[in-house]
Amino acid sequence: MLVYVYFVDGLLIDTGHSNARKMILSHLTKLPVEQIFITHHHEDHNGNLVALQKHFQVPTYASSLCTEIMKNPPSISFSQWLLWGKTESNNNIQPIDNQISTNKYTFQLIPIPGHARDMVALYEPNEGWLFSADLYIYDYIKFCMDNESIAQQISSLKKVLTLDFEYLFCAHNPKMKDPKVNLLRKLTFLQNFYQEVSNWHQKGYGPEQIMDQMSLKRNYWMRFISGGALSGLNMVKSVIRDEYNKLTS
């Protein structure tokens, strides 16, 4: 999976993963970086942050929640470490929650939790730009992490679809033409998935039984190598957990 790092008018948005450090630093250190913003705490977005902070000596920003998480990042699965590398703890990030500006542009910071509870998008309304972190990725997903929320992803997709933008700068799969079509496809997929899982759960079926009823393929290798942190089963469990939280809130 490709990871995109974006640079605009002195602002570096995310830093990529540490397993690609040599290549990333060879390109980024040539840029006139004036400030850095981290969209969320996952290792493929901040894996080179410490190295870039040392090189550029510029301010680093993130949401208040991301700032706190980065002081003591959660452990990751073996598969994430193998693919991306690790996240280094960081106490040198300044919290910012409303907007971040460069000389030419002002980006609104839009909370988009679901994939990660601290994830935010950067929206430049005058240019029609949306830097969406991991909100999109693909029109559908086959697995997720064990702490993701399908319900929050649905809400976040609905939120960004109310914005006026022409270009979707996804961290893994940018869309330069009709990006809302892709976001609507993903929203529809997640809504249908959520409803079907919820229906089976209300009938008394457990997560594994729901996988069978929905004919969902099991990637046992992914589940094994990640210690269960990444799987299709997690998607089913997320819906059940979201339904429980909705009833108890």
Tell me what the pLDDT averaged over the chain comes to: 95
* Average pLDDT over every residue of 164-184: 97
For residues 228 and 79, give the distance between their C-alpha atoms in angstroms, rounded to a whole number: 10
pLDDT in tens, 30-55: 999 999 999 999 999 999 999 999 99
Among the CATH numbers 3.40.50.720, 3.30.465.10, 3.60.15.10, 3.10.20.70, which is that of 6-248? 3.60.15.10
Q: Is 124 exposed, middle or buried (0-12, 13-18, 19+ CB in 10 A)?
A: buried
Look at residue 78 in the predicted model and tell me its pLDDT. Answer: 81
Q: What are 82-91's pLDDT values in tens digits?
A: 888 888 999 9
Bridging pattern class, strands 99-101 and 167-170: unpaired
b/e per residue, 203-216, with b = 16+ CB within 10 A? eebebeebbeeeeb
At 111-140, the pLDDT tens digits run 999 999 999 999 999 999 999 999 999 999
The pLDDT value given to residue 194: 98
What are the residues whose beta carbons fall under 8 Å from the beta carbon of 151, sequence distance 6 or more? 114, 194, 238, 239, 242, 245, 246
Cβ-proximal residues to 8 (8 Å cutoff; 6+ apart), any chain: 102, 105
